[in-house]
Amino acid sequence: MNALEQLRQSSTVVADTGDFQQLAQFAPQDATTNPSLVLKAVHMPAYQPLLARSVRDEPAAATDDIVDRVLIAFGCEILKLVPGRVSTEVDARLSFDTAATVARARRLIAAYRAAGVEPARVLIKIAATWEGIQAARVLEAEGIHTNLTLLFALPQAIACADAGVTLISPFVGRIYDWHRNAAGSAWDADANAGERDPGVQSVTRIWRHFRAHGITTEVMAASFRHVGQILALAGCDLLTISPGLLAELAASPAAVPRVLDPAAVALEPAQAALDESRFRLDMNRDAMATEKLAEGIRQFEADALALEQLVEAERLRIA
């Protein structure tokens, strides 16, 4: 078996892409998208008809509604190619508004239903701010499953578990980037590889905490920079991987031993649920998590605005 086939024996493989035409060759169980990935895809000739159709079907609709329709169009095409779930993201500009996030998530699920997709096949992606986590609590109680993204620290993970979130997406590569940039010329890549990679260590800590305490929230490691980070997390519940890295794994004959093994998880003291003030204090103490969460929201906001501009340009074109 190649490395990708071996990896499937211990982790569920998820494709991290908006380019759904690449999915079939890797046969992932699920797929994730975000505004950045969809924005990149709609610039490709193969996907421009999805944008045109979304505008043409409801030309008088509000721009943000049409953007959601574009996201759902991608999600529906992806679900034709994967047997599991697709993650679709709420507008990042709502990351600090619980009520607005809940309303937008309900709208996305209603649109998926109208397209013939059952809610069980959709994960609503929400930034793991305090407000986003509280929105997820409401949605999960309604049977709408959530994927809390831009997650960089254990306090975010603990708050998500307390809210009954279905799945969290702790980031590996962005944590690695922060520590590398902070160290500057003193950074030693070899000394921070494999299990010593700070992004790998963060995800491992979260996964072990969840397994030690019987927390059912799924852990899906995300944001990989290279194959070594993926292999160091073999055994994590899910791994969402870009097409380029999936191709590398499929071409590799290397052995892939399971690293994260539930049978080897040691008991550890339980941590109390976090109220808002403790959550914000713990996040404020973690410069990396605070900075990367804010940066990620800004990036997704910028890409959402770029998608809106494409929608407006298409509206003018077909007028």
Contacts of 215-220 with CB under 8 Å at 24 or more apart are 215/161, 217/157, 217/160, 217/161, 217/164, 217/165, 217/166, 217/167, 217/168, 218/166, 218/167, 218/168, 219/157, 219/167, 219/168, 219/170, 220/14, 220/32, 220/147, 220/167, 220/168, 220/169, 220/170
Q: Which residues are catalytic?
A: 125
CA distance 257 to 251: 17
Chain mean position to CA 317? 33
Helix (H) or strand (E) segment spanning residue 31? strand 30-32
Rg for the chain (alpha carbons), in Å? 19
Task: Convert 155-192 to b/e letters by CB count within 10 Å (16 or more is b).
Answer: bbbbbbbbbbbbbbbbbbbbbbbbbeeeeeeeeeeeeb
